[in-house]
Structure 1
Amino acid sequence: MRDLKIVLAVLVLMGALFSGNAQRKVVKTYPKHGTLVTTVHKPKIVVYKNNNYYYANGIWYRPKGKKYVVCAAPIGIQIRKLPRGNKVVVINGRKLYKYKGIWYKKKGRGYIVVNV
């Protein structure tokens, strides 16, 4: 009887450990356009039509004083690498890439923002 209690206690403990690990999720939230942020983690600076844009983790920013404003990706701006998690979509025979509502197409060694 004592062995049965020990086995049951171990099973309950293991179940609690596994269920606790299964419930841990990382949820990324992306700021809405117009949101003002103080820092951007490792941004890439892209100059387009004499304006600086900052790009990090698939999000586009414009400078505003010492802060940054989340903005829409300018149509025609080009980047070297797509963000992780992009989806490949074929529309009318054209291979496009989509990430968080922004559409890209391959151009040379990079990707250009397009309007779909």
Structure 2
Amino acid sequence: MRTFIKTVVLPSLFIVAVATNVSAQSRRSTTTKTTPVKSTRTVTTTTTKKSTASRRIPSKKVTYKKPTKKVVSVRNVPNRAVVTYKNQNYYYANNKYYTQSRGRYIVIAPKIGFRVRVLPTNYKRIRFNNYNYYNVNGTFYLQINNEYEVVEPEVGTVVYELPDDYEKVVIDGQSYYEYANILYEKVQVNGTRAYEVVGVIDVE
């Protein structure tokens, strides 16, 4: 009987123990491998966008490199069209928007919600997320029925030039470009310099 135990039972128990240990190591190895996968996914998600700017940026976090903005005004605006927005009249001519103050017309960045019936001839169409945006000197339009409404572009929208009167700003130590409260970051697209929309400044 002792011989039987030594020659059959003990080797069988040894084999079962080894198999159990191997199985346990295999399970532990599998669990360990899932950790870097999860870590990789997290890193990919957080590093998809290079910039630290989020969708909405409080204006108090934005520092302009120039202390004051140059104000452009003219005495007359020929062939102007009146744009009424929130019970206030604005004026549109020569692809620019104006407000009137003390007998002069002051160039302003268009407000979200302004509508025009005809796009300026120098617009550029930008396809992004199944939308056709029309960009004119930093102003983005979407077609609404038979009109074109000024809208905020989505984060990730790319343009290849900025308006002449853009401004440089700093947010959390990083530099960006701003026009009409839209924030841009300089990027490279197929070796070409471009500017990607990374956020919008909330004006308080």
Which amino acid counterpart does residue 90 of structure 1 have in structure 2? R
The AA in structure 1 aligned to 2:87 is N
What residue is the counterpart of 2:99 in the other structure? 62
Distance 1:33 1:84, change over 3 A: farther
In 1: Cα distance, 2:149 partner to 2:131 partner: 14
Structure 1 stretches of 4+ moved >4 Å: none
State the secondary structure of the residue aligned to 1:75: coil
Q: Determine which structure has the larger helix proportion and give its number.
A: 2
Give the superposition deviation at 1:34.
2.5
Supply the distance in 1 between the matched residues of 2:149 and 2:106 (Cα, whole angstroms).
Answer: 21
Point out which structure has higher relative CO (alpha carbons under 8 A, 6+ apart). Answer: 2
Distance in 2, matches of 1:33 and 1:108, equals 36
- Residue among 89, 93, 99 paired with 1:52: 89
CA distance in 1, matches of 2:81, 2:70: 18
Counterpart-to-counterpart distance in 2, 1:87 and 1:75: 19
TM-score (normalised: structure 1): 0.69
SS at match of 1:82: coil
TM-score of the aligned structures, taking structure 2 as reference length: 0.40
- Give the number of equivalent residue pairs: 85
Cα distance change, pair 33–41 in 1 and its aligned pair in 2 (3 A) = farther
Q: Aligned partners of 1:111 and 1:34: how far apart in 2?
A: 26
SS of residue in 1 equivalent to 2:112: coil
CA RMSD of aligned residues (A): 1.4
CA apart distance, 1:73 = 0.3
Gaps of 5+ in 1: 1-31
Alignment partners' CA distance in 2, 1:34 and 1:107: 31
Cross-structure match for 1:106: 143
Q: CA deviation at 1:33?
A: 6.5
The whole-number CA distance in structure 2 between the counterparts of 1:38 and 1:108 is 34
Larger Rg: 2
Q: CA deviation at 1:93?
A: 1.1
